[in-house]
Structure 1
């Protein structure tokens, strides 16, 4: 369960970023994630150098699985009138999906494909499209803009954890 402070940060929007800025950041994060894990061996990806924390592979798998539902939420918000977006309990995913056995390249390819697919749809949106809304079962009313910000901030939140693990391996 996420803390109220984390959720408030993830949902905040000072409005200073344009739609083009958001899309650029959203797409740039593909390369940032790939760079964060570049050169790591399978053993390093699966290692848990910080006690009680996920491995780098588990973080990437988490980000990819989250991207599945972030993408679906954004696409449905664009396509439908006020769709209902269901909260996800991410807790069981790592063990039940055996993240440690998954292939990093497949995960990165899926993440990349999802981001590129959604970015194309975002680029096609008129200015007013960014205010299209959906009802999230845990957060209430959300706009397309806030959903994009949430996806961007989620990656930004986890990239330092990957860097921390990488540093701990040395």
Structure 2
């Protein structure tokens, strides 16, 4: 890492579907899918409070995202997973477009966005994805979809995997 640049995260985090995350303590397999929307709604205020702090733009150390950058990422996670869920419910076994979260952070200049705007967008996107998971019909939780790297998901495991990201980053923003 040079000059405080963020090192891209190249891990395949799908292991959280089968193991407890040692960093945040989240166990995806324990999540009942009907609770995904409520959990998102419970966590959004913590992100909003963090984004309204005076230090939201400051990186805690070189090479670590600021609260603003994590907030912009979580906003985009909400949007991407809302799209993926819609694809899974509308199509048989869709292949998701690749999303490089690190490239998006650089291209969209997460570090230069307005924390107040990001907070508003995060709240809207969080409510949209929570409502989408709330509306999943009981018989649709086992519908399938695939990520561009070949990772296979059901609607249930997509929601559990998604929720890990949201829970995990609450710890990163110290909310």
Q: Shorter-normalised TM-score: what interval? A: 0.7 to 0.9
CA RMSD of aligned residues (A): 2.2
Residue equivalent to 2:100: 89
Question: Shift of the alpha carbon at 1:16?
Answer: 4.0
SS of 2:136's partner is coil
- What is the correspondence of 1:35-114 to structure 2 with a 5 Å cutoff? 35-38=49-52, 40-41=53-54, 44-114=55-125
Which 5+ residue runs of structure 2 have no aligned equivalent?
1-8, 19-26
* Superposed CA offset, 1:20-53 (max 9, x none): 3222112212122223334x12xx1211231221
Residue equivalent to 2:43: 29
Residue equivalent to 2:170: 159
The verdict on how the C-alpha distance between 1:31 and 1:3 changes in structure 2, with shifts beyond 3 A counting, is same
* Superposed CA offset, 1:109-132 (max 9, x none): 222222222322322222221111
The verdict on how the C-alpha distance between 1:137 and 1:46 changes in structure 2, with shifts beyond 3 A counting, is same
Question: Shift of the alpha carbon at 1:138?
Answer: 1.7
Q: Is the 8 A contact 1:81 1:133 kept in 2?
A: yes
TM-score w.r.t. the length of structure 2 is 0.78
SS of 2:105's partner is helix
* Superposed CA offset, 1:49-97 (max 9, x none): 3122112111111222222211111121122221111232222223322
Q: Is the 8 A contact 2:98 2:148 kept in 1?
A: yes
Q: Is the 8 A contact 1:71 1:115 kept in 2?
A: no
Q: Number of matched residues?
A: 159
* Match of residue 34, structure 2, among 20, 24, 37: 20
Which 5+ residue runs of structure 1 have no aligned equivalent?
none
